[in-house]
Structures are given as structure tokens and as C-alpha cells.
Amino acid sequence: MERPEDLNYHITPKLPKRMDFRIGIIGSGAIVRNCHLKAYTDAGFLPYGIGARNRDRCQEIALQYDIPNVYDNWKDLIDDPNIEILDIAVPPDKQLEVVRYAVAKPYIKGILCQKPLAMNLTEAKEIVKLCKEAKVKLGVNSNMRYDHSIRALKSVLEQGLLGKPVLATIDMRAIPHWQSFLEEYDHIEILNMGIHHIDAFRYLFGDPERITALTRHDPRTTFNHIDGISQYTFQYADELMATSLDDVWAWQGEAVEKDIYIKWRVEGLDGMAQGYIGWCFDPAAPSTMEFTCKQYPNQWIRPKWDFQWFPDAFRGTMAQLLCAVEEDREPEISGEDNLRSMACVEACYQSIKEERTVRFDEIDIAL
């Protein structure tokens, strides 16, 4: 029997053989600066150009990361025939417009969209269809799949160390940094934060059979919104339940002590695993994972790594797209796969609106 210290958790993403694909980045926000480009340069990828509405900020970022080309706007960037890969980092209601323009360019080989892919499933389908018809590889930056604790959990599950999964939970007590553009939306938490957890459940366990969701107003969020503090449960054909409580209230202000965390836990017939996502700690820290199981009795096994969800997971989401372009295959986190996560989001909102459990097959994901 393999010793626990020799287990392979498969946390390192596969990299393309060709590392100099010319990447054009659309956007100049904090996540682009501190996550996308930090991860890409650490991995050895080639950010070739950056373009957004704020040219001055693009220029600052270009100097920081030695990006040779700066454009006045995203159309100018896409018009450069040297660009091979697009990294689109704009609000979800703007992605369709950018994709529609980009797929007309024969030199664009791959596009990485952010999650959520769109504001709703209908627009997400159009993005996927546009890329499919243009034969452009479409990947989605569902970066929690490349958090190292989630990756290690997936490996432990696939090796059967926990046995048949019985119950999975995510307990989030954290306050996301809502971007200002979200004030224009009424779909807030599930579409923009919960989608991480929804996609992680799908990555780990596949598509659910039924989905039930509840929500209430977030007292801190002053603009109109449907979903603030949210709870949603996935039920599977084999009786597995996967549930997430997304508490974005979490801290009531300066006079109250903080207890901020994102904890996940999976219980199986033969063992149990749990961990913390280190993104929300202050300062941020690597995510952790530990498990105990019958195969290695009477002990906790605690692998260690120095990587963090933000920014290090962004290496994997870009790498899986570059490998797909290089090998002429679908990305691991393809647009069509992501439609199934968007369908789960749609089912959550339908469940909230109609106050009932929604079957996954009620949601039409056909292109």
C-alpha cells in the first residue's frame, strides 16, 4: 500500500509545450493586475498586449509586467493580428459583445472568458455557439477548480480514499469585494460569488439531479438585489447532498470581533476531508486540506503547499486553454461544460422565484 506521504494530489496544472502564445488582456482592474498577470508571468506565459478604457492604468500595468503593447481600447487590441489568445476580463454583461467581435478575427485561436460567462444562460449559450461556429477554443476562468485544496480533494475522491460520498458542504462566512459594476445588477451573490461553489460541486461530483435554493436580502448591500445571504443544495441520484451557505453579512462592524472563513467538508463512507480556502484570511494564506480514512487509519493526513487560490489558480485556468489550443481539443473548463454550471445558477434563481425544488433537466442547455 502506498504510504500517505507518497500520495500524488495532482495540484500542478499541465503546461503547454509552447509557452510563447501571444496573449492579449482586455481589462485593467485589480484582479487583472494582481492575479491574471502575476500568475501568467510566474508560469512563464507571454502577455503580449493590454487594452481597456483606462489607457493610463494599462500603461502602468504594462510597465510593471513588461508587456510590450498597450492599446487605447479592446477593439484596437483585438484588431492586432499578432494576438493569438484573448483573456477577457470585463463585466459579465459586456463579454458577449467582445466575443462577437473577436470570433470574426481568423488569428484568434483561443478565448478565456471570466465567470460568470454571461448574465444569464441565454447569453452564455450565444457565446458558446459563436466560438464553436468560428472554431475558436473557449475556456472559462472558473478558478476555484484550480485552488490547490479543491484539486487535492478531487484527487483523494478519485483514488477512492473517502469511499462513496455522502455529504459535501461549503460554509462561507466572508464578505466579497463587490465590484462597482454589480450595482447595475439585481442577481448578485449566486451569479457572482456562489458560482465558484456551484462549479466546484460540479467539478467534484458532476451534475446534480435536483436543486433547492433560498436567499434573503443582505443588510450591507444597499442597492436592489434578489440574492444576498444564500443557501443552495444539490441532490444527486445516488442520494449525495452538496450544500453551500454563502454568508456575505459575516461581520457587523468595528465593535464586533471577526470570524471570517470559507470552509469545505466532504464526508464519505470510508473517510472525511475538510479544508479552508485561504483567500479571505487577512493576510491571505494558502488553502489547506486534511483528510482521515480507513485506508490510513487513526491519523490525519495533511499535505502542504505554498500556493494560494489568488493568484496561483489563474495559472491553471490559462494553461488549460493554451493546452487545448496546442492539442486541438476542448479545454478542461470549456464553454459547453460551463453552460452546465450556468444551468445550475439558473435553477437556483428559479427555485428562489417559484419556492420549490427544480430538477436539473428542467433547464434547457442545448445550443
- The pLDDT tens digits of the residues spanning 94-142 come to 999 999 999 999 999 999 999 999 999 999 999 999 999 999 999 999 9
Closest CA to 114 of 130, 103, 129, 98: 98
Quote the pTM value. Answer: 0.97
**Would you state the pLDDT for residue 176?**
84
Residue 177 — pLDDT band, cuts 50, 70, 90?
confident
Residue 334 — pLDDT band, cuts 50, 70, 90?
very high
**Would you state the pLDDT for residue 184?**
86
**Would you state the pLDDT for residue 112?**
98
Closest CA to 152 of 311, 277, 37, 314: 277
Q: What is the pLDDT of residues 82-94, one digit of tens each?
A: 999 999 999 999 9
Domain 22-143 in CATH 3.40.50.720? The answer is yes
Asked if residue 75 has pLDDT above 80, the reply is yes
**Second-level CATH architecture of 144-313+342-360:** 2-Layer Sandwich (3.30)
Q: Are 47 and 85 in contact (CB under 8 A)?
A: no
Mean pLDDT of 66-82: 98
% helix, strand, coil for the chain, step of 5: 40, 25, 40
- Between CA 159 and CA 162 the distance in angstroms is 8
Mean pLDDT of 193-216: 98
Q: Is 329 exposed, middle or buried (0-12, 13-18, 19+ CB in 10 A)?
A: exposed
Going from N- to C-terminal start, the domains of the chain cover: 22-143, 144-313+342-360
Place of cell 489550443: 325
Per DSSP, 332 falls in state: T
